[in-house]
Structure 1
Amino acid sequence: MSVRVGVLGATGAVGQRLIQLLDPHRDFEIAALTASDASAGETYRTAAKWRLGTPIPEDVAETTVGPTEPDAVPDDVDLLFSSLPSSVGEAVEPAFLEEGYVVSSNSSNGRTDEDVPLTIPEVNADHLGLIEVQRDERGWDGALVKNPNCSTITMVPPLAALDEAFGLTDVRVSTLQAVSGAGYSGVSSMEIIDNAIPHIGGEEQKMETESRKLLGEFDGAAVDWNDADVAASCNRIPTLDGHLENVWADTAEDVTPEAAAEAMREYPSIDLPSSPDQLIRVFEEPDRPQPRLDRNLDNGMGIATGGLRETADGVQFNCLAHNTLRGAAGASILNGELLLQEGYL
């Protein structure tokens, strides 16, 4: 039996990706779509202004979009995927949670709250146990789970592999982030063509905090954040999709590039429909990964690494993931699959 799901903020860039991925999903059935009041009452075809390379799903196109409020979502919807702007998510997500809905959210609000699971299922599925803490403390019948920022999610799996094998002490990262991460109207063509922008508001802080929470240990009541010092510099470049990142990782134990590559290759995936069989692909070629060549690895859900070399205190490597698939919509769906597997739906 399919789980009936809804999408909050269904007309935006991530919302459209959610529709694209959910429509053929074996376990989920789209039963509700919401958007801003300006779009409410329109068909999804009209409201969404579909911009993806695949056709708009015909069975969704004529669905009427509702306002983003609990009364607009049928009671038999078991799971909501939220792709709302953070300011809107912060204002409206609690209302859905109080009504008993389970929400898998891509919105950045609340990611570092002590009682909110911030999860990459292959890395820290056990953090989902925070739901019980959350329900006790907030009195919600529902549950809120967050996936991390699209740039954070790119580097954390290889860092998790290094931390498990050698212990992390210090991380430095410089990102080369695609324009789709800013949304359709986030960066104008006059700004980004023939250019690179060495600032993305709030991005550095997200990478520096979210990564430490994701790599932390859950003791059954709280997450003890990882002690590694993380510093980030974030840059926007004129690629469409795929965030490429240069990472310097210092480790507590001695590590060679060969040992680091083996730890990444052997880092386990998880038995969920959207997770690749091999989570981290390590390229031997010195000029890989590249956004145009590697962003669609494993249907856009793989993590690509390469360029491994030894440093004074650890290793340097490059990593890449598709920012709107693995880094956003796909990450939320993966969390939804984990919620289903663990019995929260």
Structure 2
Amino acid sequence: MAKIKVGVLGATGNVGQRFIQALDNHPWFEISALAASERSAGKKYGEVADWKLGTEIPESVEDIEVVAIDPKNIDADIVFSALPADLAMTIEPAFAKEGFVVASNAASFRMEEDIPLAIPEVNPDHLDLIDVQKKNRNWDGCIITNPNCSTIVMAVTLKPLLEFGIESINVATMQAISGAGYNGVYAMSIYDNIVPYIGGEEEKIETETLKIFGDFDGAKVKNAPFKVSASCNRVPVIDGHTEAIWATLAKNPKPDAVRDAFLKFDPGLSHLPTEPKHPIIVRDEPDRPQPRLDRDMGKGMSVSVGRIREGIRYVALGHNTVRGAAGASVLNAELLKEKGYL
């Protein structure tokens, strides 16, 4: 079977590098184009990418010539967007109009009424918004988005709790510095410190969660009825967002019942290449999960939970640039292929 050609927009940045890492030797997808700023265009990727990951640059992309970000430069069926939100606002629709499927990690279109905000394990039916989107916008292609990194980690753990009736969620996040990009947080600002503010982050968690858990009626998504309150903090951890979550549940389950729900969670997506064997891993140790020990579980795609207590209160942890960014977009694309959109 011939592989599907894919491109990466913003290929030299932190998330762009994660996309390349996730797509290297992918059984369904093959990188055919890498796009970045004009100053990188015309040069080999290995020459312009300031590679920051703990692996070598894949040989398959080292000699690919980087092109400027323009639909006419890209030979691919789907493009993965690691663009900043301001650039994505104009660039992503340009690609969708030209017939590309755009799997976006940017925040620009997440809350648009006709654009899916998708997590395959949580709301796969929302991908059918693509048909509504194409009709509304007269596009040959489409845009799909994955949520904010912290939202994804929390939402995966909330899915099994739906059976207990979610009334409200409170969350305090402890977010890794990689979420701000490689140069996003000055060393002297974060060493020996916690910054109790991340611009726009709390609002994203509070609004995106309601759309993700909303009901899709074939035309639009009606937001979930429960409330979400978030407090976000930047902590001196390189990768891995940790979240303390308080869930008010209508059926008032015991911690053992919640633990069992986490353990039994099976979204039926194990045939997708990027889906981990266990989307949720339960840690019974009193001091787990921890970023350094648990962020790479399931090749970075599993969410670990622990400290499940009366209330219901628990701690969740996920790799923010894998589960919460590039890996999430690749998993979305795999589900798109299965549903016939690629």
Question: Whole-Å Cα distance in 2 between the matches of residues 232 and 59 of structure 1?
Answer: 41
- Taking the TM superposition and a 5 Å limit, the aligned residue runs for 1:213-252 are 213-252=211-250
2:286 is paired with a residue of what secondary structure?
Answer: coil
What is the CA-CA distance between 1:243 and the residue it aligns to?
Answer: 0.3
Partner residue, 1:54: 55
2:174 is paired with a residue of what secondary structure?
Answer: strand
* Residue type of the alignment partner of 1:240: I
1:180 is paired with a residue of what secondary structure?
Answer: helix
Number of residue-to-residue matches in the alignment:
339
* Residue type of the alignment partner of 2:244: N
Question: Whole-Å Cα distance in 2 between the matches of residues 162 and 70 of structure 1?
Answer: 42
* Residue type of the alignment partner of 2:166: L
The answer on 1:112 being equivalent to 2:111 is yes
Partner residue, 2:329: 332
1:107 is paired with a residue of what secondary structure?
Answer: coil
Partner residue, 2:189: 191
What is the CA-CA distance between 1:231 and the residue it aligns to?
Answer: 0.6
What is the CA-CA distance between 1:206 and the residue it aligns to?
Answer: 0.5
Partner residue, 2:150: 151
Question: Whole-Å Cα distance in 2 between the matches of residues 167 and 241 of structure 1?
Answer: 32
* Residue type of the alignment partner of 2:66: V
Question: Whole-Å Cα distance in 1 between the matches of residues 324 and 300 of structure 2?
Answer: 9
2:300 is paired with a residue of what secondary structure?
Answer: coil
* Residue type of the alignment partner of 2:124: A
What is the CA-CA distance between 1:11 and the residue it aligns to?
Answer: 0.4
What is the CA-CA distance between 1:221 and the residue it aligns to?
Answer: 1.2
Question: Whole-Å Cα distance in 2 between the matches of residues 259 and 56 of structure 1?
Answer: 44
Partner residue, 1:276: 276
2:123 is paired with a residue of what secondary structure?
Answer: helix
Question: Whole-Å Cα distance in 2 between the matches of residues 46 and 32 of structure 1?
Answer: 15
- Taking the TM superposition and a 5 Å limit, the aligned residue runs for 1:71-150 are 71-74=72-75, 77-150=76-149
What is the CA-CA distance between 1:21 and the residue it aligns to?
Answer: 1.1
What is the CA-CA distance between 1:143 and the residue it aligns to?
Answer: 1.1
What is the CA-CA distance between 1:222 and the residue it aligns to?
Answer: 1.1
* Residue type of the alignment partner of 2:159: A
* Residue type of the alignment partner of 1:317: Y
* Residue type of the alignment partner of 1:289: P
Question: Whole-Å Cα distance in 1 between the matches of residues 183 and 294 of structure 2?
Answer: 25
Question: Whole-Å Cα distance in 1 between the matches of residues 263 and 180 of structure 2?
Answer: 31
1:208 is paired with a residue of what secondary structure?
Answer: helix
Q: Deviations over 1:142-169 (max 9, x none)?
A: 0110001101001101111112x11111
2:122 is paired with a residue of what secondary structure?
Answer: helix
What is the CA-CA distance between 1:253 and the residue it aligns to?
Answer: 1.3
1:278 is paired with a residue of what secondary structure?
Answer: coil
What is the CA-CA distance between 1:41 and the residue it aligns to?
Answer: 1.3
Question: Whole-Å Cα distance in 1 between the matches of residues 276 and 45 of structure 2?
Answer: 30
Identity %: 52
Deviation beyond 4 Å, 4+ runs, structure 1: none
Partner residue, 2:210: 212
Partner residue, 1:171: 169
What is the CA-CA distance between 1:320 and the residue it aligns to?
Answer: 0.3
* Residue type of the alignment partner of 1:343: G
2:112 is paired with a residue of what secondary structure?
Answer: coil
1:334 is paired with a residue of what secondary structure?
Answer: helix
Question: Whole-Å Cα distance in 2 between the matches of residues 249 and 275 of structure 1?
Answer: 26
Larger CA deviation: 39-48 vs 299-308:
39-48
1:327 is paired with a residue of what secondary structure?
Answer: helix
What is the CA-CA distance between 1:106 and the residue it aligns to?
Answer: 0.4
Partner residue, 1:298: 298
1:307 is paired with a residue of what secondary structure?
Answer: strand
Output the aligned Cα RMSD. Answer: 0.8
Q: Deviations over 1:300-339 (max 9, x none)?
A: 000100101112xxx0010000001101010010011011
Question: Whole-Å Cα distance in 1 between the matches of residues 95 and 235 of structure 2?
Answer: 37
2:152 is paired with a residue of what secondary structure?
Answer: helix
